[in-house]
Amino acid sequence: MVYLFSVTLFLSAALLFWVQPMFGKMILPLLGSTPSVWNTCMVFFQAGLLLGYVYAHASITYLGVRKQAILHGLLLLLPLFFLPITIPHGWTPPTDKNPIPWMLMLMSVSIGIPFFVVSASAPMLQKWFSSTKHESAKDPYFLYVASNLGSMLVLIGYPVLIEPNLRLLEQSKFWQYSYFAYIALTIACAYVLLKSSADLKETEAIKEDSKDKLTRDQRIRWILLSFVPSSLMLGVTTYISTDVSPVPLIWIIPLTLYLLTFIIVFSKNPPLEHELMIRIMPFVVLGSFVYIVAKGHPIGFVFFLHLLSFFVCAMVCHGELARTRPSTKHLTEFYLWISVGGCLGGIFNALIAPAIFKEVIEYPLAIVLACFLKPAVPDEGKKKENETIMDDVRWALIVAVLVVVIKYLITDIRKSDPKFLADPWWVTNAVIYGVPSVVVILKLASRQIRFGLGVAAIILVYTYYSTLGQNLILVERNFFGIHRISMDSSKKVISLYHNTTLHGSQVVAEKNSCIPTTYYHKEGPIGQMFEAFKDDEQKMKVGALGVGTGSISCYGREDQDWVFYEIDQDIVKMNNKGKFFTYFTNSPPETYVVYGDGRLKMKDAPRHYYDFIILDAFSSDAIPVHLLTREAIKMYLSKLKRDGIIAFHTSNRYLKLAPVVGNLVEDAHLTGLYQHDRGDSCTGRMGSEWILVARKKEDFGKLTADRRWQLLQGDPSINVWTDDYSNIFSIFDWGKF
């Protein structure tokens, strides 16, 4: 019986967490591959899980396990009408408003019913088991381990086995077949239940003991203890995927750790003791914080520290959930409140935080909340009777003042001795934030409120100093990320940043002219391309994916038409009427903007319309994978004139995109040129990597004799990317991690 229920729970959880990255990957191309897609998906999945838990709790409470088992047996057939899982034909995202409602509706129509039915399994099957005559029925929480193990293994297997070997259509088919097996196993569990139990209402007809009643404080604490790890998971996911790519591989890492914490804390013999996690939490959280603000590299180790802090915080919160779990009488309600907290965490990160915060405040806020929830270990001092909340606040103020004083002293001493704490460069920040962190660990960590306030004080002061001197002109946040417009310290250059990536700059003194800078300077690869064809009067039509600051439009001629495709309307607003950047205003050609995903919208262009197609969407922010597939190349060629050129701007901090484009070029029997320009930071010329693609070598004109351009090569070890196959893992630049 234990094996039957365990296997069924394992499979149900595997189905739930297989469909999440699978459908997320299906929907990414429709929305420009922004990290917000995953956060919104997670809100839907958490809401679906909550509905499943509500159904399990309500139906068992009012019907009893026997009648509810029969009802669920019938409900299992409903998802068959929605399989296999695909995106319905004709669904396209809106271009003039927030796409989140559209996303939630699409997921409701496509996977809502299957996800809802399977999501009820965890609390329902454990409650069924607790109603049997098995010797372990009194404490079925160990079955939750099987459920989370299924979730975790399929998540680990997705980027390693499923994604590289199965296309999306094949994945959907296998999911369908697995659901058939789930139906059979669930019916088998129901049969065992009906044979070995009495009705729930009969077995629990005895009045509840007052000691066994749940209190309001218990329920609120369960919600908070599940809210914080959920919010932290999405926060750390956004942080990592913003710098790499919002693909299943990146999403899965934090989610796998999240599930692993549940597996550990609900095990009969947890390999990591709850008390140990409580003790090390201050060291991990503050130690990681000090290293990150002091050094900030290598980026792979920074990612590791973020994930480590998240894991320890989740272990503490989930460990408290496991420690305070109720008797089986309240099993389904216990899971219901856990689901409520998880869902609220997702809603907060994906829907509320972007609307009320200009910066990603929700991530450090969740860390602070986790510190407030950290319980004291048994041998730590109890709060004195005469201590009040004001004593805790005073300690936090002392910590904040300590940071300011240390920073002031170092600055003052350096006026007479510039080398003081200057070598190596990161020692200064390590001292400024390390000393107060040690004080918090030694003096405040034993008290919940005091510890939380101490950590909050350090983070607030750091945030203040880190933004000081940035000369921010504008900060905006929307579904696609955070936009910052800033002026350099000399107030000579104005720049646009999207999340952490520079998307263009303009020299203030040259606002009445049109001189491209950064990746687009005239001596660079893109400047060389336009210089080679400046006298070709036949080159009339240019299509560009990605607006940025619009600096590339400076290469246009008055007789040319330039069409920009941009999914983020806020970017265009920053260029309109020369509000911040005047490239569009002063550029020679007439420029038009088409709103929406570039690949989807370019389909509407006439066949063989463009002389140049420029794809400028792959710099270090989350790359849109769907623009680098076999199907995408086919579409570009259908819109490109016979002698036209496609230019890929493949500059990226952590991903080697040239082999991907090289494979696509070879697959389509095209030819390509590659150049990595080192740039010159002293003159504001940013280094960049560009690839030119044409049908035949002669289409490159003068560039074929330019030694700066090399023949593009593919990589046989990397498979050709398609709309239902890509593998980010294979192109990581591990040397930079």
Q: Quick check: 150 and 13 in contact, CB under 8 A?
A: yes
- Please tell me the distance from the alpha carbon of residue 349 to that of residue 351, in angstroms, as a whole number: 6
Question: Which is it for strands 671-677 and 688-694: parallel, antiparallel or unpaired?
Answer: antiparallel
- By C-alpha distance, which of 216, 224, 213, 212 is closest to 375? 224
Sheet holding 481-487, edge to edge: 472-478, 481-487, 493-498, 501-507
Residue type (1 letter), 612? F
What values do phi and psi take at 202, rounded to 5?
-75, -40
Give the helix ranges, DSSP H, for 550-629.
569-575, 583-586, 598-602
For residue 180, the model assigns a pLDDT of 94
Q: Quick check: 567 and 597 in contact, CB under 8 A?
A: yes
Structure tokens at 685: 């010329």
Per-residue pLDDT tens over the stretch 204-246: 443 444 446 778 888 899 999 999 999 998 888 877 766 555 4
Express as a percent the part of the chain with pLDDT over 70: 89
Residue corresponding to tokens 């300590």: 402
Per-residue pLDDT tens over the stretch 554-575: 888 888 888 988 877 778 777 7
For residue 33, the model assigns a pLDDT of 57
- Please tell me the distance from the alpha carbon of residue 695 to that of residue 713, in angstroms, as a whole number: 15
What values do phi and psi take at 43, rounded to 5?
-60, -45
Positions in the chain whose pLDDT score sits under 70 = 29, 31-36, 38-39, 95-97, 197-212, 241-251, 296, 377-387, 422, 468-470, 500, 511-512, 577-578, 619-623, 681-684, 733-737
Per-residue pLDDT tens over the stretch 178-188: 999 999 999 99
- Please tell me the distance from the alpha carbon of residue 567 to that of residue 515, in angstroms, as a whole number: 25
For residue 204, the model assigns a pLDDT of 46
C-alpha distances in angstroms, 33 versus 172, 403, 480? 21, 40, 9
**DSSP one-letter code for 98:** -
Q: Quick check: 117 and 75 in contact, CB under 8 A?
A: yes
- Please tell me the distance from the alpha carbon of residue 635 to that of residue 616, in angstroms, as a whole number: 17
For residue 735, the model assigns a pLDDT of 60
- Please tell me the distance from the alpha carbon of residue 434 to that of residue 399, in angstroms, as a whole number: 11
For residue 188, the model assigns a pLDDT of 92
For residue 199, the model assigns a pLDDT of 46
**DSSP one-letter code for 564:** E
